[in-house]
Structure 1
Amino acid sequence: MIKKGSRRNIRIFRRNGDTLWVDLDRFLNLGDLNANPYLEAGDVIYVPPRGDVVHIYGAVKIGARTAYELRPGETVADLIELAGGLREDALPEAELVRFKDDGITKERYTLDLNKILHSNPKDPFYLKPGDQIFIRHIPNWRPRAWVEVRGEVRKPGPYPIEDGVTTLSEVIKEAGGFTEHAFLKKATLERRQAQYVLPDPEFERLRQISSVMGGLEKMKPLEYDYLKTRSRENRNLLAVDFEKLFVQGDKSHDVVLRYGDLIYIPRKWETVTVSGQVEHPGMIPFVEGKDPDYYIRRAGGYTQRADKGNVQVIRARTQVWMRKGEVKSLEPGDTIFVPERSEHDWWGLIKDASAVAGQLATFIILARSIANM
């Protein structure tokens, strides 16, 4: 449909003589199914030119669009509804600007939005072509702050907070405390609002380098290690030790919360996962104090294709990868990964060595020939 075509006055002519009206804006913005009827065989769709328009600006939920085609008999309340309704930060008064017949002189009207939207006025404010409605924002308005608590608490869900004042322990108390299955070692606090998360220019620089062909080869080993580690991390996590706060009473971990924070209390893990080149990969019951070799043995031991010298342990709490020799004991939820040993292309190596030897022999013969001349 071209831009000059109507979106709100489309007509469908039925073979039985009925005429149906289509209003795509009401359907797309409000989900009004009656404004987008199903077609039947033989229907004729007529899209007339776009009619007169009105404008709405400011604190409405669909603010990216300002111009709407006007249908006969529509009011200010109808236009606000079509624009998704008012935002929370909308002032209760709006201004309507209307041009007189000369197209130059303006009339200004102050609109009481509470009266227009929430009562049933006997004399509704009807719109005229070219009307402009301005709905201004409340100065210095801040959204009602809340955080979300998920997982092993008595009452998970959203909780209102005073942004930058309410603490972690206060919200956990309001959520009824932890269940007996809570795994505090792996509990996390995620700051989801980007405005509160500090940027990492070095990580972004290295990420851009890695996206270019051959970029990884130009990195120093320490830079590559930093890129790899930061890529695995959730950069929005705050460094909070739930065990120290709620078990040992260390108030230094009782951080203040911000709007949109997510508190996640996982269920206790009772297993360690062994993955990769072992005879029986899967979950092994956790035993306090046992090292990786214990769990590998419980998984049936290594296969013939296992790369025993490159076994990795992935910590459940931090997602950090560690070599097996660096880990003395495991924690519930940890993963042991046994990679596959690389296959050597011996035939390819022999062919390459033969080619080099042949070139070397040719060079020696050529050198001797030149020396004897």
Structure 2
Amino acid sequence: IFLGMFLVYPACSRVVFRMLNAELCESFPTGLDPHMSPSLSYFKLDYSVDCNGSQHRLMSNPLYCLLMVLAYPIGIPSLYAYAFWDDREELQRLAALERAKKKGYAQVDGGKARGKKGRGLVGVAAEGVRWVAPRVSSGISQGVTTARRSVVGVVPALNRAASTGRTNLRRKKAIRQLRRHVQSLVRPYKCTRFYYELCECGRKIALTGIPVLLSGNGVSLRGTTGLIFSAGFLWLGVSLRPYQFRSDNILAQVCGSVIFLLMTSKILLQSSDPAIYEYKGLIDSVLLIATLTPFMIAIPMALDQAFSDEKPQAAPSVSADPGPLSEAQNWKVQPRAVAQKVLTADAADASGSASASG
């Protein structure tokens, strides 16, 4: 059902807004005197539709149009918003998990993050629990510096190997806990931008519906309105970068740029300046290339995502320091104590070596 709503939303909303604009009907006189003789009226966008017919009069009835506005342009986003509200606890937990990963918090437990990145070096234990190894000043002694380097060499190896794969698995598992219709709405986006489908509904209405409502001698006004809306939503997409994958964000920005270019060319071609028509062929060529660009970018991106291996990688072995790595992989209950133990042991060894040499 939600897939069907997604597909019909722009087209149905545009038709509803068209029916609200009475100036889309054009009259043709049937006699020699246009003021005295009866006239025929046809829909400008489809001259097979008789504006004097019973079907068109019913569909252009204000009460019927209001009902359709409540059903499509307003009703579908409202249904999306209700679905988000109904699953708000799971969505908030997903958002908290992603914010914790991005900001480098120490531990995430039940959607709450504790500890900050600035207090220590963030890593990931074998069970996916985030921990912080305490920082040690390098100016105390050479032995402490050596110990700090030992732990710092172990932590990133585990972090790089396990963080991405385990975070993706946790994200997929958490998304599966959502209702099925909500999964289709939030899956393409970052967990902190789960609401962006509502912004997409607003963008579709702003570009396809609102300009149709502008009446009067407003062909250029409609183009200018569409240009402003396209620029605004392009800026919003660049600022938020809502999609989970970087390639999707790039593709969305390219599509937004193409729409902005199309709106600009529409205003230029509707200009009364005769010099514009000299470059009409060039403008048409640029528009054709710009329209095909998103397809040329989307095809390799889709193939890359289809054949990419999304399995989490195993943690690599660190041959230079196998002892601390073995302990670090088995941190479960007291990660801080183990980190401190490694620091103390390496510092003692370094101090003993320095005393023996002295």
Which bin holds the TM-score, normalised by the shorter protein? under 0.3
The higher radius of gyration belongs to: 1
Between structures 1 and 2, the one with greater helix share: 2
Between structures 1 and 2, the one with greater strand share: 1
Q: Which has the higher contact order (CA 8 A, sep 6+)?
A: 2
Normalised TM-score (structure 1): 0.20
Normalised TM-score (structure 2): 0.21
